[in-house]
Structure 1
Amino acid sequence: MMRWLIALDESEFSERLIGWMRTFPHPKDTVVTVLHVLEPLAVPETAGAKGQQLVRQQQGAMVEALLDRARALLAQSFETVDVILREGVPSQEILHVIQEHRPDMVVSGMRGFYQAAGFAFGSVSQRLLAYAPCSLMLVPGKVTPGLGLRVLLATDGSPDALRAAGLVRDLTGVREIVVVCVVRPLGAAQAVLDRFQHDESRTMRVDLLRSRRAVARKAIADTVEVLKGVPGNIRTVVLAGHQAEAIVRAARRDEADLLVIGARGFTGVKAVALGSVSRAVAQLATCPVLIVKP
């Protein structure tokens, strides 16, 4: 049984996020919990005690209507939908609920959520990326729900990347999976190679790039092996450039509906590290991003 936690706010993007989740492929017995954190209102003292109470009552009524609508819409796709209402700082309360309920995945807005109170991507989403112990899906405000996902799966062959591939394999209704791996530019290694004679430097540069491309092809092959048996079409692409930029550019070019990436990867020379790349991808992407954690 899967447990998903959907964090909503009072912005217009919540409606779109609910629409996206209604069509998102999921196991039949998935339990969904909708969470809203009610922030304390700074009502001017000039409003008086009665005015302050009236404002808070109106806020509470609006939130209750939001949660009732969210529950009704999600109940059309999920068998079990629960609702939690908390008060406090959104990022802190969301993390508290995660610790209490231990969901398999948290779904939140990528941008726009809590923006009126200064909670843009740099706060809530960043804290969830850093501290949520489970997988995290960040959904942009302009997302368009639809059936039959085109998924771009970024890999480096690391355990986290292969775990992400396993999650994609288990999704239903995926019409295409594009598996990509990025070959990094030489970077600092170029400065070292420049110290050698021209012919020797060129040979070493070619060998180094060839080695990195071989690592990328091996990472893709291992990922495709995990995806074996998936009914949808699978394509593979070796990209060149800086990891996050290349991955996001590929997702835009292929019009991906969902970008999936592992939370961590190998470091050093063993593979093309995803590590901090997942954070950069979440900040740059224009489509929903699913960051798979252990």
Structure 2
Amino acid sequence: MMILVAVDGSEGSAAALRWARRFADQMGASMGAIRAWEYPASAVLPGGPSLRGQDEVTAEVTSELTRFLRDELAEGAEGVEAIVEPGVADVAVLRAAERWRADLIVVGRRGLGAVASRLLGSVSRRVVEGATCPVAVIPSPLGAHEGPVVVGVDGSASATAAVEWATEVALALSSPMVVVHAVSYELPGSPYSFGDAMDRAGQALAEEQSRPPREAGVEVRTVVRALDPRALIPETADELDARLVVVGSRGTGPIASLLMGSTASYLAEQCDHPTVVVPRPAP
């Protein structure tokens, strides 16, 4: 596994870097840290500002990135590949992820220029929406969560991909998994029997999506409740002190063509636990 973490010198990216280092150690993964820079890069010289060459700027940014890695990780900085890319931040991160064949991109919820710490930054959002591999969004400050891997499911292709990814992680960490499915049947005048049927269908769906990790040897339990998934998943994660929340990028909602669904978007912005958004499988 190759893990690529985006850093920009902010506390949000420092939290993402520290989390990525621990996760890479747990997974036995290689790791790279990327910092992007954009033109114009200028130096004030006698006679006025002068544009500097790409090699000069790259060397300076590489030196800054190396210092940042040492400051945040100390000895853990050894073995972390320092990657510097010119260009717009999200484009540079996605380009590097493709070149390095990253299996996971890690971003902070907010980077430089943050206005609200509980909103997903524009760069982080564009990385999540544009990545072809899973993306972990790390809140800051981040507590030491030691509970199970919590994965939200709804029967979609994205949810199936999320379960597959979560299973790999749960096996590597020797962690139990909790499969969460939110049932919605609050229709005006609905007979009780309709709700009963939906409960049974929801439990059947959760059990079906729990079968692959169980067969792989993961300890799995299910949580099925009639509640908005944007409430049920973080509530379950809080109750169980989840070490990781995993969701698909798109569910079975009415606008399935959007890049990131409302549940994934909400959790990336609001969840107090590291949240991994897994993209839909390529057709």
TM-score range, shorter chain: 0.7 to 0.9
Given that 2:21 and 2:31 are in contact with CA atoms closer than 8 Å, whether structure 1 keeps it comes out as: no
Unpaired stretches in structure 1, ≥5 consecutive residues: 191-200, 269-273
Given that 1:39 and 1:89 are in contact with CA atoms closer than 8 Å, whether structure 2 keeps it comes out as: yes
Unpaired stretches in structure 2, ≥5 consecutive residues: 255-259
- 2:257 is aligned to none
Mark the CA change 1:250 to 1:48 in structure 2 (over 3 Å): closer, same or farther. farther
Mark the CA change 1:205 to 1:229 in structure 2 (over 3 Å): closer, same or farther. same
Other structure's SS at 1:97 match: helix
Mark the CA change 1:117 to 1:144 in structure 2 (over 3 Å): closer, same or farther. closer
**2-structure distance, mates of 1:52, 1:290:** 40
Is 1:223–2:221 an aligned residue pair? no
Mark the CA change 1:284 to 1:185 in structure 2 (over 3 Å): closer, same or farther. farther
- 2:178 is aligned to 178
**1-structure distance, mates of 2:124, 2:136:** 10
TM-score, normalising length from structure 2?
A: 0.77
- 2:231 is aligned to 245
Could you tell me which of 58, 65, 68 is aligned with 2:67? 65
Q: Percent identity between the aligned chains?
A: 24
Alignment of 1:244-263 (within 5 A): 244-263=230-249
1:180 CA displacement? 1.0
1:265 CA displacement? 2.6
Given that 1:245 and 1:281 are in contact with CA atoms closer than 8 Å, whether structure 2 keeps it comes out as: no
- 2:163 is aligned to 165
Aligned length: 266
Is 1:208–2:177 an aligned residue pair? no
Question: Cα deviation per residue 1:178-229 (whole Å; 9 max; x = unaligned)?
Answer: 221101252xx42xxxxxxxxxx4xx43233223222211221012211115
- 2:272 is aligned to 286
Other structure's SS at 1:228 match: helix
Decide which structure has the larger Cα Rg and report it: 1
Given that 1:71 and 1:83 are in contact with CA atoms closer than 8 Å, whether structure 2 keeps it comes out as: no
- 1:21 is aligned to 20
Question: Cα deviation per residue 1:96-138 (whole Å; 9 max; x = unaligned)?
Answer: 2234334222111112x12359997241121122211211111
**2-structure distance, mates of 1:250, 1:48:** 62
What is the aligned-residue RMSD (CA, Å)?
A: 3.5
TM-score, normalising length from structure 1?
A: 0.75
Name whichever of 66-75 and 148-157 sits farther off: 66-75
**1-structure distance, mates of 2:253, 2:14:** 39
Alignment of 1:18-97 (within 5 A): 18-24=17-23, 27-28=27-28, 30-39=29-38, 49=48, 61-67=63-69, 73-74=75-76, 81-97=80-96
Given that 1:21 and 1:74 are in contact with CA atoms closer than 8 Å, whether structure 2 keeps it comes out as: no
Question: Cα deviation per residue 1:122-176 (whole Å; 9 max; x = unaligned)?
Answer: 4112112221121111111212356x55211111133322222222222222433
Question: Cα deviation per residue 1:236-263 (whole Å; 9 max; x = unaligned)?
Answer: 2112222212222222232222111112
